[in-house]
Amino acid sequence: MGVDLAVKIGKLTLKNPVMVSSGTFGCGEQYEELVDLKELGAITTKTITLREREGNKPPRIAETYAGMLNAIGLENKGLNYFCDTTLKYLNSIKTPYIVSVAGEEEKDYSKLIKALDKLNIEAIELNISCPNVKSKKKRMFSQDAQDTFKLVSKVRKLTKATLIVKLSPNVTDIKEIALAAQDAGAEAVSLVNTFLGMAIDVHSRKPKLGNITGGLSGPAIKPLALRMVYEAANCLKIPVIGQGGIMSPEDGLEFILAGATAISIGTANFIEPQSAILIKKGIEKYLIKNKIKSIKQLRGTIIS
Ligand SMILES: Cc1cc2nc3c(=O)[nH]c(=O)nc-3n(C[C@H](O)[C@H](O)[C@H](O)COP(=O)(O)O)c2cc1C
C-alpha cells in the first residue's frame, strides 16, 4: 500500500512532512555527501541577518543531560553573501527551502523581506525568537503578542512568499502569541525555538557558555515543546510546524498526533545526519502498518 506523505504549508507543497531546522543543517551543502537532500520535506536555512555577524564569544556550545545548550548568536555572512552565493546552491538542489531571517528591529526585517521578495523566494521563516542575540527591544518580538502582531503585519505586506513565524517557548501563554501571528497574516507558525538555560563549571566557577545563557534543545525539551505545539494547533487555523527534541519516528508521530502539520529535526542532525530521512521512513512504515492512507488523516487525532 502506497501512502501519501505530502503536506501543504501555505503555498509550499512538501512531498513529506519532515524538514530540518534552522541553524542545525547549514543550507544543506555541508550535508550533501551524507544525506540525500531530495528526500527531505524541506530545508530551513540558517538564519540570515542584513549584515554579517560574528556571533557570540566562545564557548558557544555545552552538552547537558539529554540535550545541548547553544549560544551561537546568529553567526552568518549576511544578506548579500546569501543572495550572491548560497541562493545559487539552494536553487540547484531539488528540495524546497525556507529562508530564515532575523533582525534587531522592524526595519531590518523589512529590508530583508523586500530583498528576498525581489528574488521570488517561495517561503520565509521570520525568526523572532532567537534567545542568543541582543535586540534593540528589551525582549524578543515573540515574547509579546502586540509586538508579534505589529511586526508580522508590517512584513506581511512586503512579500508574496509563504510567511512562517518561528515562535519562542520562553513565554507564559503560547496561544496568545500564536494567535497574534495568525491574525497578522502568517501562513504557518513554527515552534519551538530553544528554551533559555545556562550551565556553570563548578571548578572554574565560570559559565560554560561565553554568553552566560544559551538555548536548550534536544530530547530534554520534547515534552515541553509537544505541549506547546498541542496548545497552538488547537487554537489556530494555520499549520503548525512542530519541533523540539524529535529524535525518532515515534517522537515525530507524537507531534503530528498533537496537531502539527509538519515536523522539523534539529539537534538530532548533529548525532545522526540521516535523522530526518530515518524519521520519515519510520513514519511511512507506521502509516502502512496502521492502514492509514495519508499523513493528513493522522494529524491531531490524539484521543483524549
Ligand atoms: C546549534 C543550534 C543553532 C541554532 N540556530 C538557529 C537559527 O539560526 N535560527 C533559528 O530559528 N533556530 C535556531 N536553532 C533552533 C532550532 O532550529 C530548533 O528550533 C531548536 O533547536 C529545537 O529543536 P531541536 O530540539 O530538535 O534541536 C538552533 C539550534 C541549535 C541547536
> What is the residue range of 190's domain?
7-297
pLDDT at 292: 98
pLDDT at 136: 66
- Bridge partners, residue 53, by sequence: 76
pLDDT at 17: 98
Query: 267: Cβ below 6 Å to ligand 1?
Result: yes
Position 155 in a domain:
yes
Phi and psi (nearest 5°) for 157? -70, -15
Query: 67: Cβ below 6 Å to ligand 1?
Result: no
Select from 27, 64, 65, 60 the least CA-distant residue to 46. 27
Select from 130, 122, 72 the least CA-distant residue to 101. 130
Position 2 in a domain:
no
pLDDT at 137: 66
**Ligand 1 atom with minimal separation from the 129 CA:** 11
For 84-93, write each residue's pLDDT tens digit.
Answer: 999 999 999 9
Look up 130 and say whether it is catalytic.
yes
Ranges of the chain with pLDDT below 70 = 134-137
pLDDT at 63: 97
- Name which residue sits closest to atom 14 of ligand 1, judged by CA: 23
Position 147 in a domain:
yes
Tell me the residue ranges of DSSP E strands in 104-239. 123-127, 162-166, 188-191, 195-198, 200-201, 206-207, 213-217
Query: 21: Cβ below 6 Å to ligand 1?
Result: yes
Mean pLDDT of the chain: 96
How remote is the C-alpha of 145 from its chain's centroid? 19
Which three cell numbers, joined as nine digits, stand for 102?
A: 532575523
Position 303 in a domain:
no
Say what the pTM is: 0.98
For 101-129, write each residue's pLDDT tens digit.
Answer: 999 999 999 999 999 999 999 999 999 99
pLDDT at 161: 98
CATH number for the domain harbouring residue 191: 3.20.20.70
pLDDT at 131: 83
**Ligand 1 atom with minimal separation from the 67 CA:** 25
The residues near 149 (Cβ < 8 Å, ≥ 6 apart) are: 180, 181, 183, 184
- Name which residue sits closest to atom 3 of ligand 1, judged by CA: 23
Q: For residue 129, what are the CA distances in angstroms to 28, 100, 195, 228, 298?
A: 22, 11, 10, 15, 29
Q: What is the dihedral of CA 158, 8, 131, 300, to 10 degrees?
A: 140
pLDDT at 132: 78
Total of domains in the chain: 1
